[in-house]
Each structure stands twice: as C-alpha cells, then as structure tokens.
Amino acid sequence: MSYAAIMVYVDIDGLPEQRVRIASELSARFDAALIGFSGRATPPSFVSEGVVIEEATEADIARLKAALAAKGAWFRGISGRPDAEWRWQLDFPTEALASEARAADLLVIGKVKTSHVPYGLLAPGKLVLNAGRPVLYVPDGVATLGADHVVIGWKNTREARRAVVDALPFLRKAARVSIVEVHREKVHAAPADVNDLVRYLARHRIAAEAHGIRHREGSDADDLIQFALRQKADLLVMGAYGHSRLGEWIFGGMTRDMLEATPICCLLSH
C-alpha cells in the first residue's frame, strides 16, 4: 500500500505556501498525483415580508468563481507541479472537501483561521469524521515533513487501529517508529495489545519500539506532544474521536486538544 493521490486544501483567502509545498514534497516522495482543492459557499437567498432577497448577486458569484479558478494557478506555481490537478466548489469547504476526498488517499489541511463567517471555514474535526480518509494536519510554522521519526499515539481502539494502517506508507519510510501509550497508573510491562502491534508492524517490515509513559498533568495530548518533542519526532499518528465528538468537545478530549496544541504534523484517522 502507498498513497497514489494526495489532496491539499487551499484557503481562498489565505496563502498556505508551506502546506502546499509539504503536500507537493509528499506527492513526489510517494510518486502520487497531487490535487489542490478550495471551496467557498455563497450566502443563501432568504424571504423577508414575502420578498425573496438574494444575498449574493450574479456578479458576486462570477467574481468568486474567478477567484477560485485563479487560485489554481497560484497553487500550481507554489507546488512546482504544473501537472497538478485543481478542483473547486461553490459550497461549504468542510462538506465539499469531504466529498472530494473520494479522489485521494490522503488529505492535507492546516490551521483554521478564526472567523464568524461560516462560508469559507474548514472544520478539521468534522472533516476527519466525514472524509473517510486519513487527514494530515500541518500546524503553522512547519515548513517540511521528513517523517523520519514517527510516533504512534496508541490506544487499542478501532480508530487507532485504522490510523496505523492509514499511516503504513509513512511508517515504511521512517528511520524510527515509536509506539506510545499514555497510562494513568504505573505499568510494569507492555500490555499484550502493544506487543501485538509491534509484531504486526514487524510483519510489514517496520521496526517499532514501545513506550509507556505516565500521565503527569494537563491532557494526554500534552503528554504525547512532549514525548514527541523530546524525541525529535516530526509526525504523530493517532485515531480521532474514539468517543463521541459531542462528548469530546463538551468535556475535552484527545483529538480536540491535539488539533489545538500540536506544533508538529499529525495524521488523524477515524
């Protein structure tokens, strides 16, 4: 298994050069097609006192279409891939990108800019839940992704197992792979599921080392991030939303905390 097509989200209002370059580098590394995508919804019509009021005029829509099409030229120039494919939709970005994910093996996204206008906002959590593809989250300030040392944030859940399989192309090329499980209590030996994962990866010709770390303070995401930083890892792999998304966002959870705090790239699967 490898990645045959990589899709990167390009904000129509932003200049995500680093994200696009990382996606382009990954497409070259995996000999994959590169696809850029952008989306923006138009404000809907509404009825006031029996009169239909158009929020977006035909001229507004024409300008938006032109801007989305022009972003493709910018994308190809930054990626250095004149053969790269460019797609866009007049739709809400999260829903549109989740739909377009059918054409790719991996989605590359970045940090969401705070805004009260929903028409151009991408919601990473919702995307991870609905895309049916692994999502590579690239934080601001990350210029390259060597993925030389990959850390797997492990918990024996469906989502984590899915994430390991989705990350196999990265794991095969990594110089070092660490499996990290955060414990709330002291553990004297690696649990059976961790040993099984080490053996599973070995059968894929991937050497992995297991680590159990004791939770100290803050969130489990903080523990995992700090381990990765100490070990100079540059890619985290983890399952997303092992509990209900509503429960995670109300009470706090690993996925939300990781998206808010990680300074290194993170591959998320659901």
The 10 Å Cβ neighbour count of residue 155 is 16
Name the residue range of residue 219's domain: 149-269
Whether 121 and 157 map to the same domain: the answer is no
> Are 43 and 126 found together in one domain?
yes
Q: pTM for the complete prediction?
A: 0.89
Residues 38 and 132 both lie in one domain: yes
Chain segment 66-103, per-residue pLDDT in tens? 999 999 999 999 999 999 999 999 999 999 999 999 99
Same domain, 178 and 232: yes
- Run means of pLDDT, 10 residues per run, the chain, 270 residues: 95 91 98 96 57 63 90 95 95 95 97 67 90 96 96 93 97 97 66 92 97 74 91 95 54 76 95
Residue 143 within any structural domain of the chain: no
Residue 31 lies in a domain: yes
Tens-place pLDDT, residues 158-197: 999 999 999 999 999 999 999 999 876 665 556 789 999 9
Same domain? For 153 and 131 the reply is: no
> Is the domain of 156 the same as that of 111?
no
Q: Two tokens at 15?
A: 């200049």
